[in-house]
Amino acid sequence: MDPTATISENANIYQVYKRGAVGRSIDITRYSCYDELEQDLARRFGIEGQLEDRGRIGWKLVYVDHENDVLLVGDNPWE
């Protein structure tokens, strides 16, 4: 798989990891949409401008759901 950021659930606090980097803890309730989440993660991991182009090969924002399936962030509606 291409380099990814993954999210693992623990209440409203999530551990976010970038391949090859130290993880960060975030409070998901701070964000009101995927765009805000994406921009903050890009800033935290120093990859600004690299998550916006969906057709480009490179960084992809994904998460692991409760069934251990890897899904792209943004494929499901923000709740």
Q: Does residue 52 have a pLDDT over 60? A: yes
Other beta carbons within 10 angstroms of residue 38's beta carbon come to 17
- Please report which confidence band the pLDDT of residue 1 belongs to, taking 50, 70 and 90 as the band edges: very low
Is the confidence at residue 3, as pLDDT, over 50? no
pLDDT of res. 65:
82
The pTM assigned to this predicted structure is: 0.71
Nearest to 41 by CA among 76, 69, 3: 3
Rounded to the nearest integer, the mean pLDDT of the chain is: 79
- Residue range 13-72 forms a domain whose CATH class is alpha beta
Residue with the larger pLDDT of the pair 58 and 31: 31
Is 3 within 8 Å of 58 (Cβ atoms)? yes
pLDDT of residue 49: 83
36 sits in which H/E element: helix 34-45
